[in-house]
């Protein structure tokens, strides 16, 4: 047997160790389950506390990747970025969800939101229309893949607006060519507008410009071209 003095020495050390460990465990809060965290994130979204919502949903996604709430959290992170008007971040999050879960029932929603991310970044008609084209492409993809989805009626309205913006842009460029007397380029552009955007409100103006360009170009073709081999009579003054 161990001597009594040994136990008298060891007992205080054990008590100190147990007390310190109990203090550590007591101070550490237990992790919240995924459903509780998800509900907190939804409440934060409703209150427009987007940064807090992103943080909460990322915890759900990272701590409980195999839970039912994990996929919801991925979409809600994208939504929070969207509402913050961080459209590039939202776009990547929606794309990532579609890539990871291509057969999930939330994919149509993600495609619709991708179109909206591009749509919200489109510029005025006098500037580059890349975002408008990409928005139109996503809405068309939604229509092609999910023609019966609930988001299609809204997508159709955005598609019409995109097409109008693109038509207005082409009209703007064509009119610029006309004003700078580049009549052939203007004619080509106006004809393209008439063919590709027949519902453009400026349809009458487009036809008017087409006729004017054709008249100017035809008149220019009829004028005699003066060059090195011009008639001898043109080289001298009549009163020579």
pLDDT digits (tens, 9 = 90+) for 99-130: 999 999 999 999 999 999 999 999 999 999 99
Q: How far is CA 58 from CA 38, 62, 83, 109, 143, in A?
A: 10, 6, 16, 20, 31
- Residue-level length of the chain: 240
Q: Is the torsion defined by CA of 5, 11, 12, 14 positive or negative? A: positive
Look at residue 222 in the predicted model and tell me its pLDDT: 73
CA distances 20 to 14, 25, 106, 163, 164, Å, are 10, 9, 49, 69, 71
* Residue 102 C-alpha from the chain's centroid: 19
Q: Are 73 and 38 in contact (CB under 8 A)?
A: yes
Contacts of 63 (CB under 8 A, 6+ apart): 31, 34
Residue 232's pLDDT is: 36
Mean pLDDT of 132-161: 97
Binning pLDDT at 50, 70 and 90, where does residue 13 land? very low
SS3 content of the chain, % helix, strand, coil (to 5): 75, 0, 25
> CA 125 to CA 123: how far, in whole Å?
7
Residue that the structure tokens 């004619």 belong to: 187
- The model carries a pTM of 0.79
């Amino acid at each position: 047997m161990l001597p009594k003095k040994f136990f008298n020495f060891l007992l205080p050390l054990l008590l100190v160790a147990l007390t310190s460990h109990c203090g550590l465990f007591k101070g550490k809060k237990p992790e919240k389950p995924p459903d509780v965290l998800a509900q907190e994130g939804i409440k934060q979204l409703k209150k427009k506390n987007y940064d807090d919502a992103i943080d909460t949903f990322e915890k759900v996604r990272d701590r409980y990747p195999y839970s039912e709430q994990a996929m919801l959290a991925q979409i809600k992170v994208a939504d929070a970025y969207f509402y913050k008007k961080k459209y590039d971040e939202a776009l990547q999050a929606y794309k990532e969800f579609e890539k990871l879960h291509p057969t999930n029932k939330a994919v149509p929603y993600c495609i619709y939101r991708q179109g909206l991310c591009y749509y919200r970044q489109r510029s005025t008609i006098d500037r580059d229309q890349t975002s408008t084209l990409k928005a139109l492409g996503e809405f068309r993809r939604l229509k092609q893949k999910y023609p019966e989805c609930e988001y299609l009626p809204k997508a159709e309205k955005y598609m019409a607006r995109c097409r109008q913006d693109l038509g207005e842009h082409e009209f703007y460029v064509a009119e610029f060519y006309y004003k700078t007397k580049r009549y052939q380029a203007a004619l080509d552009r106006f004809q393209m507008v008439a063919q590709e955007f027949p519902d453009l409100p400026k349809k009458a103006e487009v036809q008017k410009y087409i006729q004017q360009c054709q008249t100017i170009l035809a008149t220019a073709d009829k004028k005699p071209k003066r060059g090195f081999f011009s008639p001898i009579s043109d080289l001298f003054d009549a009163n020579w």
